[in-house]
């Protein structure tokens, strides 16, 4: 069965990014009722800390050294998460912007899965090369500012370039971003931004 993987990155079920994801997934289920939707809730699913044996495993792998038992177990957790991602034909990431960037749970997810020999490799002649195949990916990014029209209130969007580059590094370049913002300020502006993003997501879901 074909699969869409949803990385759900907000701790709030009523957040704007979560609401946008629901709009998209409702439309996607109608368009592709035979697809499986695999939801990875970064706030509920168990995710290893990027410390201790898993860090040691990364450097052992880079240096061509054998794993000890603890390192093998740590790398197996990273492998489990990366394989879950790699098995999806489509990917949806819904996330808020926190302090100009991404939530620390999403950064932790990338830190765990970006492993040598798992999602990338290094070639002395060519440099870093991705190991995952490309797949259509949508990122819903909700923020207090309006980055879609440039009314960003002096804030800098560091989430979009980070996500684009982190995904490209492991092989995913077919990425489209759907900003939702502003999510703070006058109610009329919030409502207009939400409605515009939801219309766009509903249309994208039909063809994704």
Mean pLDDT of the region 71-79? 94
User: Could you give the residue ranges of the DSSP H alpha helices within the chain?
Assistant: 16-31, 53-62, 69-86, 104-113, 159-170, 187-207
What's the pLDDT band for 199 if we cut at 50, 70, 90?
A: very high
What does pLDDT average to over the chain? 95
Maximal C-alpha separation, the chain? 59
Phi, psi dihedral angles at 35 (to 5 degrees): -90, 150
Residue 151 has pLDDT above 90, yes or no: no
Residue 150 has pLDDT above 80, yes or no: no
User: What pLDDT does 33 receive?
Assistant: 97
Mean pLDDT of the region 173-202? 96
Residue 110 has pLDDT above 70, yes or no: yes
How far apart CA 97 and CA 95 sit, in angstroms, is: 7
Of the candidates 191, 166, 171, the one whose C-alpha atom is nearest the C-alpha of residue 181 is: 191
What's the pLDDT band for 16 if we cut at 50, 70, 90?
A: very high
Which residue did the predictor score with more confidence, 145 or 8?
Answer: 8
Residue 153 has pLDDT above 70, yes or no: no
The architecture that CATH gives domain 3-207 is 3-Layer(aba) Sandwich (3.40)
| Helix, strand, coil % in the chain, rounded to nearest 5 | 40, 20, 40
User: What pLDDT does 83 receive?
Assistant: 97
Residue 131 has pLDDT above 90, yes or no: yes
Task: Report angle CA 202, 135, 194 to the nearest 5 degrees.
Answer: 25
What's the pLDDT band for 147 if we cut at 50, 70, 90?
A: confident
Handedness of CA 56, 57, 60, 62 (dihedral sign): negative
Percent of the chain scoring above 70 in pLDDT? 97
What letter would DSSP give residue 116?
Answer: B
Structure tokens belonging to residue 178: 């759907």
């Amino acid at each position: 069965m074909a699969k869409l993987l949803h990385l759900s990155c907000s701790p709030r079920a009523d957040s704007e990014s979560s609401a946008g994801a629901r709009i998209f997934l409702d439309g996607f289920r109608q368009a592709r009722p035979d697809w499986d939707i695999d939801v990875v809730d970064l706030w509920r699913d168990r995710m290893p800390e990027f410390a201790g044996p898993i860090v040691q495993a990364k450097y052992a792998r880079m240096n061509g050294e054998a794993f000890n038992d603890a390192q093998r177990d740590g790398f197996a957790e990273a492998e489990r998460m990366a394989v879950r991602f790699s098995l999806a034909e489509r990917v949806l990431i819904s996330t808020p912007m926190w302090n100009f960037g991404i939530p620390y749970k999403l950064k932790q997810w990338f830190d765990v899965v970006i492993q040598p020999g798992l999602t990338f490799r290094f070639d002395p002649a060519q440099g870093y090369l991705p190991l995952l195949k490309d797949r259509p990916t949508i990122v819903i990014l909700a923020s207090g500012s309006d980055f879609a029209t440039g009314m960003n209130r002096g804030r800098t969007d560091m989430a979009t370039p980070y996500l684009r580059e982190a995904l490209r590094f492991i092989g995913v370049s077919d990425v489209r971003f759907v900003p939702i913002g502003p999510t703070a300020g006058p109610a009329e502006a919030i409502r207009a931004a939400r409605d515009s993003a939801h219309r766009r997501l509903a249309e994208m879901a039909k063809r994704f």
